[in-house]
Amino acid sequence: MLYTGTMTEDLFDILHNTATPPVYRYFSGGSWKESASGKTTSVYSPIDNSVVGILQVVTPKEIDDAIETACNAQREWEQTPLNQRVKIMHLVADWIRHNEQYLTDLLVMEIGKTASEAKSEIARTADLTDYFADEVQSIRGETLDSDNFPGYDKGRIAVIEHVAYGVVLSIAPFNYPVNLAASKIVPALLMGNSVVFKPPTQGGISGLHLARIFEKAGVPAGVLTCATGGGSQIGDYLVSHPKIDMIAFTGNSDTGLAIAAKAPMKQLLFECGGNNATIVFPDADMNLTVKEIVKGGFSYAGQRCTAIKYVLSTPGVLETLLPQVLETIKEMVAMGDPRQDSTKLVGPVISLATAKEIEEVILEAVKEGAVVVSGGHRRDAYIEPTILTKVKPSMNIVSKEVFGPVVSFIAVSDMDEAVRIVNSQRFGLQACVFTKDEGAGLKYAPLLNVGTVQINGSPQRGPDHFPFLGVKHSGVGVQGVRYSLEAMSRLKSVVINKPQ
């Protein structure tokens, strides 16, 4: 079925031709263009495998042109008074809100999020954009006197400012194609960079809509480009381009490693995979723990890098926990078509191929001794909310990031063993600890080698002004409103040597 959301206006008409399904243009140098490549890639809805639209695959020459234009436009953009850049970003937020329903419907169709999750992504993006625009006004430089350092007198003063890197390549993932695009584009633009935006294939149509909103809000021609095409088609050329100064990427860790290898000496801001653990102390509030496990494990069908992937506790605690989790799944989760109000948390995963891969990993775990106590089956691109017990940390179901609605239960002899398991993983995004004794939680948290430890709450990125980071293969650098603004700029020092 072709996406037929109701348009409130003609704002987005320019994005595509009138064919069915529509072919989308790419955005470069301030215009919406047809690519000379003649190559396209179709966006299939995970709901029913229908074609939502067709993206063009841009050519290397088109990428060169876009980046050259971005380089030239950046100089003037950085000189544009900050108050004007701020005003434009507030307009972006307004335009996102104005088109909330339209963008929500599109997201549901394009990536299979439930309607409430999609709506929340759009609303969150508008709020985030406003917050960035407010926060940037408190980013300021400093001056340093030379005589603090031994052997120096007052002869010099350093004036230190935040300046742009230049051209930032922003690569967004399919799971938040609007929000995790804006979380890179907005701070990059506010700090005076120009941006080449590479949306995911699924989510690419939503990404183009976002680019249109930036254009409409007044981002000057050339400052933002939206280059479409599959990662395997245009990714290498983009990330290794000599005129890209910084890469901001969210996606899986293998892709992150491959990008880093091809982008020597470029600034990197990466948020990659996670297989986040839940550690349940015997004194935990079981009601709360159970609800957080179900929400944390199954929201957006487990396709969040912050999703809970495994639960660690002693056999006695797991015995109490498990029946309550199974009962709560029945209350909080209803797998189905994400367009229906009756569907709760679990719609399809992003594609049939991905669903088959997840099914394989579940079957492999079962072969290795794991037991499916709930779910475990696939229907087309839909994976039932699945709970596995008797899982070992070395099994792929735990040690790989399985981007689907699957949570594994692992029995440990004590909490020290739980720490060892978390710290032995390839990933280090978040972990959560449930205990009524917050003091014990605070003592325990530093032992876990992850970016963030949540005490009595499931892993999550928000609120979006909190720092968001991963260690090991989970990421490079820190995001979160202020942290992203700082990460998207470098320091520039001008030293005034006073006349002797």
Site for ligand G3P, rule CB under 6 A: 175-176, 180, 250, 271, 304-306, 460-462
Pick 441 or 470: Cβ nearer ligand G3P: 470
User: How is 103-130 classified by DSSP, letter by letter?
Assistant: HHHHHHHHH---HHHHHHHHHHHHHHHH
Give φ, ψ of 63 to 5 degrees. Answer: -65, -45
Q: Identify the CA nearest to 381 among candidates 235, 101, 174.
A: 174
Pick 376 or 451: Cβ nearer ligand G3P: 451
Q: Distance between alpha carbon 23 and the CA centroid of its chain, in Å?
A: 26
| Catalytic, out of 62, 226, 272, 305 | 305
Task: Give the contacts of 198 (CB within 8 A, at least 6 positions apart).
Answer: 169, 170, 171, 172, 227, 228, 231, 234, 235, 238
Residue 5 and residue 106 in contact, taking contact as beta carbons nearer than 8 Å: yes
Collapsed DSSP state (helix, strand, coil) of residue 336: coil
Residue 142 and residue 135 in contact, taking contact as beta carbons nearer than 8 Å: no
Give the nearest distance from C-beta 372 to ligand G3P in angstroms: 25
Give the nearest distance from C-beta 274 to ligand G3P in angstroms: 8
| Catalytic, out of 62, 271, 292, 384 | 271
Pick 56 or 278: Cβ nearer ligand G3P: 278
Q: Identify the CA nearest to 202 among candidates 74, 53, 90, 82.
A: 53
Q: Identify the CA nearest to 335 among candidates 287, 392, 404, 260.
A: 404
Give the nearest distance from C-beta 121 to ligand G3P in angstroms: 9
Give helix 286-298 / helix 315-332 axis angle, nearest 10°: 60
CA distances (Å), origin 128, targets 123, 281, 339, 370, 429: 9, 35, 25, 41, 21
Q: Identify the CA nearest to 199 among candidates 65, 414, 24, 435.
A: 24
Give the nearest distance from C-beta 60 to ligand G3P in angstroms: 29
Total Cβ atoms within 10 A of residue 391: 22
Pick 212 or 344: Cβ nearer ligand G3P: 344
Cα dihedral: 331, 334, 338, 341 (round 10): -50
Residue 273 and residue 427 in contact, taking contact as beta carbons nearer than 8 Å: yes
Pick 306 or 351: Cβ nearer ligand G3P: 306
CA distances (Å), origin 80, targets 74, 175, 482: 10, 33, 21
Give the nearest distance from C-beta 169 to ligand G3P in angstroms: 17
305 catalytic? Reply is: yes
Give the nearest distance from C-beta 316 to ligand G3P in angstroms: 31
Q: Extract the tokens encoding 169.
A: 């390549």
What is the separation, in whole angstroms, between the first and last Cα of the chain? Answer: 77
Give the nearest distance from C-beta 176 to ligand G3P in angstroms: 6
432 catalytic? Reply is: no
Pick 386 or 458: Cβ nearer ligand G3P: 458
Q: Extract the tokens encoding 77.
A: 């953009």
Give the nearest distance from C-beta 132 to ligand G3P in angstroms: 16
Pick 181 or 415: Cβ nearer ligand G3P: 181
Residue with tokens 């069915």: 20
Pick 35 or 170: Cβ nearer ligand G3P: 170
Please identify every residue annotated as catalytic: 271, 305
